[in-house]
Structure 1
Amino acid sequence: MKKLASILFFALAGITFSAHSEQMQGAQYKELGPWQVHYIAFPSTFIQPRIAKTYGLERSGYKGIVNISILKKDTDATAQTAILKGTAKNLLGNKQTLDFKEVIEGDAIYYLAQVDFTNEEILRFEIEIQQGNQFQKLQFQQKFYVD
């Protein structure tokens, strides 16, 4: 069931991202140290209620989801576990702490956090990734729209 929910979660996200390309840049990645870090942030209303419930996510016109996955930069691109700590800050400097949940399904590992936003709000994300004694910082920004 969880495997199916994961597939549906990302399939739906892909369809929605295409349909709302004017609202989102889509999934992106950055190479940080030994990793390829994939990240995306989008409104929680982009996922179906059943999928939100499966992952313990709140669907709201004013809540976003941050999804991060970390792959080892090698020929296998193996999914990595890590400790993630982060914040989201708006242009006025108001800061929110991100509480990441680790999701492991088969070979896939990803981290989900929720964030509050208002219409057309730009949030700047700063996320520290730690694995053993390796530390990297992921920084990106996303403009959110209320549905």
Structure 2
Amino acid sequence: MRRLALLLMCLCLSFPVLAADAASGERKAVFGDVTVHYSAFTSSMLQPAIAASTGLDRSKNQGVLNVAVIKTGKPAMAVVSGTVKDLTGRASPLSFRQIIDQGSVYYIAQFKIDQAQTLIFDLNVETGGVSHPLSFNQQVFPGE
């Protein structure tokens, strides 16, 4: 009986995560042979050493947007730019930095998280002289 209760509790706690993944699908956009993977999270989730090595501020009120570009199955260089805005339309530019780590290429930018809210990310990913616009919404929460 105790195992059953533990299993039910775990399922209840994981359901919102599973529902969010089902609703949003995989966090990627495909443009022909170019695939753009993206994720946004609170920077307080980063290990201190990783935050320091990438020059990111670790804070419960700072988010990180991580973008990776894959072209024909291999990491690709790109120019990534964009803005983040709240539902009232107040926009802030995103300043991306390139991180190269063990053959992988990432583009990271930080943004403020003042409160639990839905943010709209409008990005432009340019690779090989071709621009790929990308827009997505994500609910964010200040960290612990």
2:117 to 114, 117, 121: 121
Q: 5 Å matches for 1:22-61?
A: 25=21, 28-61=27-60
The number of residue pairs the alignment matches comes to: 126
Q: 5 Å matches for 1:4-83?
A: 21=17, 25=21, 28-72=27-71, 74=72, 77-83=73-79
Does residue 95 of structure 1 match 2:91?
yes
In structure 2, the partner of 1:143 is 139
> Aligned Cα RMSD in Å?
2.2
Q: Secondary structure at the match of 2:132?
A: strand
2:130 to 117, 131, 134: 134
Q: Secondary structure at the match of 2:74?
A: coil
In structure 1, the partner of 2:8 is none
Shift, 1:123, TM fit: 0.8
Counterpart of 1:68, as a letter, is: V
Q: Distance in 2 between matches of 1:133 and 1:46?
A: 35
Q: Distance in 1 between matches of 2:77 and 2:132?
A: 14
> Is residue 89–residue 125 contact of structure 1 (8 Å, CA) maintained in 2?
yes
More moved, 27-36 vs 133-142: 27-36
State the structure with more CA Rg: 2
* Structure 2 length-normalised TM: 0.79
Shift, 1:133, TM fit: 2.2
Shift, 1:21, TM fit: 3.2
Counterpart of 1:122, as a letter, is: T
Note the residue ranges of structure 2 that are not aligned, 5 or more in a row: 1-13
* Structure 1 length-normalised TM: 0.78
4+ runs of 1 displaced by more than 3 Å? 24-27
Note the residue ranges of structure 1 that are not aligned, 5 or more in a row: 1-17
Counterpart of 2:134, as a letter, is: L
